[in-house]
A and B are shown apart, each in its own frame.
Chain A
Amino acid sequence: MVTSLIYFYFLFFASITSALGVIFAPKMYLSALALFLFVCFSALIYLYLNSTYLSVFQFILCSMFLSLYIFLLLKKIGRLNLELRLAPVSKIVVSGVFVLLFGMLFILYFMQEFDSSLYSFFNVAVEKSFNSVNFKHYLYPLSLVGIFILVTTAVLRVFLDNSLAVEQQKENEESKS
């Protein structure tokens, strides 16, 4: 019992620390190393939740494949020792406030969900569903995935815009020369 508790809190703080390490690491290789540790700790969290399959899957796919890929990419472009800088302080403060508000919103949502008040909204759709009892437990995590997809789409769009602008610039330079 005590061992399990200590193990849980160790994983809790280790995963949060490594996630913070990814963001605040001063050098690129430290950031990549923190990501590798984060993947390992989260795989141990799955193991704690008796999800051996997911744990092994994440360990193989992410720590063996993805982290290695990131390290190799950094080595190839010679940026392993790159010094990382954060955004200006004003932007950090505004982002912090936004993230705090967002967190409070989620806690409210989460508490409401556990009072079953929000489920009444979904009941019309869920009651007729064959797998209704199982499905409704996953509504909250599904909302997280929805937000994750929105943020990913926004970020990838910015990346693509950048790469398109670069290509256009290249074409313009070539046509000029």
Chain B
Amino acid sequence: MINSLLTVGLAHFLVLSLILFLTGLFGVLISRNMLRTVMSLFIMSVSAVINFTAFGYYCDNSMENANMIGVFILILSVIQTIIALVILYKIYQANEYLDTEKIKDKEN
């Protein structure tokens, strides 16, 4: 048990990325502020990229595949974050707040 903790391997990075992924998911579920939801989504995407990089480093001889997929996911996640932020800005201009509960109440 202690030996496995002292030797950094693939499992360590998978555990790290799993914890980050679950943290991001938890953030999406519990946050009331829309901006924080977007940030949590970004954490989820970064955890996926860490996973790819770890697999590339430990299982694949070259890092080319992992780098390529990682860059692709990063670009996609940044684009989706920016699109979400633009939508949020529009919502804010109309409502003056980004609280999901308040917006729901207003709709009702």
Contacts and interface: CB of A to CB of B under 8 A. Distances in A.
Given A84-B33, A137-B55, A138-B52, A162 B26 contact: no
A95 B26 CA distance: 7
Interface residues of B, number: 80
Contacts of A54: 49, 53, 66-67, 70-71, 74
Interface of A: 4-5, 8, 12, 15-16, 19-20, 22-23, 28, 31-32, 35, 38-39, 42, 45-46, 49-51, 53-54, 57-58, 61-62, 65-66, 69-70, 73-74, 77, 79, 82, 84-87, 91-92, 95-96, 98-99, 102-103, 106-107, 110, 134, 137-138, 140-141, 144-145, 148, 151-152, 155-156, 158-160, 162-163, 165-167, 169-170
Interface of B: 6, 8, 12-14, 16-57, 59-60, 63, 65-67, 69-71, 73-75, 77-78, 80-85, 87-92, 94-95, 98-100, 103, 107
Counting from the closest, the 5 A-B pairs by CB-CB distance are A95-B29, A141-B51, A23-B27, A137-B59, A166-B94
